[in-house]
Amino acid sequence: MATKELKSEISYAQETTLSAPTTEAITSVGVWDKFKDSFKPALQTETLTNAHVNSENADSLSDLERININSANSKLNRKLQNRHLQMISIGSSIGTGLFVGSGSALNTGGPGGIMIAWFIMATAVYTTIQGLGELSTTFPVSGSFNVYASRFIEPSAGFAVGWNYFMQFFVLLPLELVAGAITIKYWNKDINSNVFVIIFWLVIVLITLLGVRWYGEAEFIFSMIKVVTVVGFIILSIVLICGGGPSNEFVGGKYWQNPGPFANGFKGVCSVFVTAGFSFGGTEMIGLTAAETPNPRKTLPKAIKQVFWRISIFYMGTLVMISTLVPYNDSRLMNASSSVDATASPFVIAIVNGGVKGLPSVINAVILISVLSVGNASVYATSRSLNSLAEQGMAPKWAGYIDRAGRPLVAILATDIFGLLALISASNKQEEIFNWLLALSGLSSIFTWISINVSHIRFRAAMRSQGRDLSELPYRSQAGIWGSYYGLAINILVLIAQFWIALFPLGGKPSAYGFFISYLGFPVLLASWVGYKIWKKSLRLWIKAEFIDVDTGRVNIDTDLIRQEAVEEKQALSSRSFIYRVYKFWC
């Protein structure tokens, strides 16, 4: 273990190193020279922390201490602004899962099934992200939840979860490029898919190589379009339900009566329960932005709170409209040929049923934007995850190369190049290939959320065991420790439900192929965990609470200032109206 002197110096270093990294001044004149120099290795001000890591004393550090120190001193640039975080938090999981996937879920579970399943999963995701907000605001380190699993549970957990999360989004980029090419065929079915695969690939490569600030700008625009579309759809749906559309038909709740609220009983609800869990994938990505935000202590809590509004308005509000306007036995839902087939989108079906012309093409355009947004976000997620794994010594050192623009360059290029796998879209084997690639990490989001829940529980246990007061935290989960227990329980139930559906599929016979396509992610995760144990020759299952490091990586630890700000905020709120206090609590 590190000596007291080393820990003291590490704590001091944290107050000076978690700002944007200092890079060597580029003295060359001209845009081209500056562009070339930006690809050179990032240079960081030599700190006491780095000095110890690179000195002979580094040999005395354990793997876990190296992980904590390296993740706390990342060279990523902190250029994401507050408005970027706000829109990333709102739009990160609004995509084809909502615009199209909700249609197959409606067909499987019925209106009652999707409302129950999505509501339960929404509450679990909300409590999980609240726990992540507490950890990310306290420890705005590179890798976020990957590092938290290593730090608060055990490094083998971080290794398994980190690589599984990397694979999830690594495979997602080529899949989204293919989806974008298929979406284009809504207007012209004779177009060569590979032409648009290359076009979309070049767009994503350009955005990702421009740096994190431009990723934030792109996601700001993409998310704004998606949000406006969802809000507009909800308003239009209310008009259609009340009979204000061209057909002048009052819809009311007739589809809840005929064909009814549930399509396939309890098993149908369980199946939708799994689909709902997957639809929220990407919500946790807000945690990855902590290491690239100038003032995470102020901006992250606001972004984390936006999850409540996203869930309440964009998901639940939209699902209420869809379940009211579209019968679950509509043939267009049952005959969906593609996960990005706009004709299978309940948004499009609801508008067509209402007699509104022209808008289906608009919805299809938004689906295309959503596909590009997810592809862009997948490069961000994979590059930051691979960089974090390299910093933790769980991936080749070269994979963690960061240039002077603050880009994890090697990780970005590796992800972009793999995206060219989308060129197999012209092959008749594309569906089988992508099915198996997705199966490798099909449960990744659930595993990640479970690791966040357990990490938060272990962090609170460490604080309690070491006699630390929660008042020193810059942000506390609104759901508290019990929220993480609740999120953990629901996510475990999702795994159980997925196992049941994989073993006994709805409307089909049990098969080994179907089971492994649905549940291969679990044995892959287990093999990763066991493999790391064998590699490190470690039998430890978890870190004891009294030995968990609750200091390294924290920015400007001034507990008195934090307490004073909390008191002043309460006093200021006490003089405001009840409505304003409710607004500040949720926003």
Kindly state whether residues 454 and 575 are assigned to the same domain: no
133 or 60, higher pLDDT:
133
Q: Provide the b/e sequence for 5-32 (b: ≥16 CB within 10 Å).
A: ebeebbeebbeebbeebebeeeeeeeee
Does one domain contain both 69 and 161?
Answer: yes
The first and second tokens of residue 53, run together, are 């890591």
User: Same structural domain for residues 541 and 570?
Assistant: no
Same domain, 579 and 452: no
Domain identity same for 201 and 97? yes
pTM: 0.86
> Are residues 461 and 586 part of one domain?
no
Token digits for 555? 């920015």
Long-range contacts of 49-53, Cβ-Cβ distance < 8 Å, separation of 24 or more: 49/9, 49/10, 49/13, 49/14, 49/17, 49/73, 50/13, 50/17, 52/6, 52/9, 52/10
- Please tell me the number of Cα atoms within 13 Å of 303 on its side-chain side: 32
CB-based contact 207:376 (threshold 8 Å): yes
Same domain, 568 and 440: no
Q: What is the DSSP string of 326-349?
A: S-TT-HHHHT---TT-GGG-HHHH
Report pLDDT for 270.
Answer: 85
CATH code for the domain of 45: 1.20.1740.10
Q: Do 65 and 15 share a structural domain? A: yes
The pLDDT score that the predictor gives to residue 552 is 82
Token reading at 51: 């000095």
| Same domain flag for 525 and 582 | no
Q: Which amino acid is at 59?
A: D
State pLDDT tens for residues 2-29.
444 444 434 433 443 444 444 444 444 5
Q: Are residues 10 and 86 in the same domain?
A: yes
User: What is the predicted pLDDT for the residue at 263?
Assistant: 86
Q: What is the mean pLDDT of residues 184-211?
A: 82
Q: What is the mean pLDDT of the chain?
A: 79
Residues 579 and 507 reside in one and the same domain: no
Task: Give me the helix-helix angle, 430-439 and 155-184, nearest 10°.
Answer: 150
Alpha helix (H) residue ranges in 73-209: 82-91, 96-99, 101-138, 145-148, 155-184, 193-209
pLDDT digits (tens, 9 = 90+) for 206-232: 988 888 888 888 888 888 888 888 888
**Owning domain of residue 502:** 4-556
Cβ pair 484, 127 in contact under 8 A: yes
CA-to-CA distance for 18 and 219, rounded, in angstroms? 25
- Provide the number of structural domains found in the chain: 2
Distances (CA, A) of 179 to 163, 225, 377: 24, 19, 15
Q: Does residue 466 sit in the same domain as residue 571?
A: no
- Cα–Cα distance between 400 and 412 in angstroms, integer? 10
Contacts of 98 (CB under 8 A, 6+ apart): 230, 279, 314, 315, 318
pLDDT of 97 reads: 73
Is there a contact between 365 and 99 (Cβ–Cβ < 8 Å)?
no
